[in-house]
Amino acid sequence: MSSVWPSTPLDAVQRAFDLLVCPPAPLAFDGRPFPALPPRVLPLDELKSVLIGVQTPRPVRDAVWRELVVRARRDGPEWVVAAAGIALPGLRRMAGMLSQGWRDDSADRDAELLFGFVEHLRSIDLAETRIVGKLIDAGARRVKRSREDADSVDLVRVVGRWSLPPQFPWDHPDWVLSRAVAAAVIDPDECLLISATRLDRVDLQVVTDKLGISRDLATAWRYKAELRLAEAIRGGELAWGQLLAAAPGS
């Protein structure tokens, strides 16, 4: 697999997802509590295929997606990337539908689509049905708002090109942390510790109780992990985004 990250948002999500399901320890989902799923632990790429299959009833898909949303909220960035990767076929279809009338770079459209999807992961009502469809719809609404905003301003035509900083979710910290886990810069527990306490503002004691370690150990552990993370970012090891989490010691 190439070490160069794809230049488009949806292809980059596919690459990040592929890294999550690579041996020897692919991210997995226990299918045993869900009827119509194979009664075993499923690698996420296999779960993706099962959910796409027409033989999987819609209520089962919704139940699985409720669990995926819970994990994305609770267990850190790798599950945010997992959710986006599993939803990728639907996101690609929606991107194609939204291409009509979109005059800007398609990468901007797809970035807005992904941002809306990830944003809605944190707020969708889990009592709803058609969970994944509504997540994708939220991404589509963000694209449409972006197009309406662009149509409402006067455009200034210039000769030549220049580079602009990438927009979310290119720089989304969830993606950065997921790539750091895939690159073995930090481990999944360190990822959870940083994500929960720095990004989601969960009290450190809550996370230490979950991990079964002391607060002092967690503080030292997080500090060392953040130093490695910052060094990897400065060295370009996690290119395709910048870390927006708090700096060590904040």
| CB 194, CB 184: distance < 8 Å | no
Evaluate if residue 234 carries a pLDDT over 80.
Answer: no
Per-residue pLDDT tens for 207-227?
888 878 888 888 888 888 888
Q: 0.85 exceeded by the pTM?
A: no
Evaluate if residue 162 carries a pLDDT over 80.
Answer: no
Q: Give the C-alpha separation, 182 to 177, whole Å.
A: 9
Written as six digits, the tokens of 183 are: 């690159």
Model pLDDT, residue 231: 84
Provide CB contacts within 8 A for 136, sequence distance 6+.
Answer: 87, 90, 91, 94, 113, 117
Model pLDDT, residue 163: 45
The amino acid occupying position 22 is C
Scanning 56-102, the segments in alpha helix (DSSP H) are: 58-74, 77-86, 88-98
Per-domain residue ranges for the chain? 9-151, 173-234
The amino acid occupying position 61 is R
Q: Give the C-alpha separation, 98 to 91, whole Å.
A: 10
Evaluate if residue 195 carries a pLDDT over 50.
Answer: yes
For 91-110, what is the HEC assignment?
A: HHHHHHHHCCCCCCCHHHHH
Nearest by Cα to 112 from 157, 76, 152, 166: 166
Per-residue pLDDT tens for 63-98?
999 999 999 998 888 899 999 999 999 999 999 888
Evaluate if residue 38 carries a pLDDT over 90.
Answer: yes
Per-residue pLDDT tens for 112-150?
899 999 999 999 999 999 999 999 999 999 988 887 776
Model pLDDT, residue 75: 86
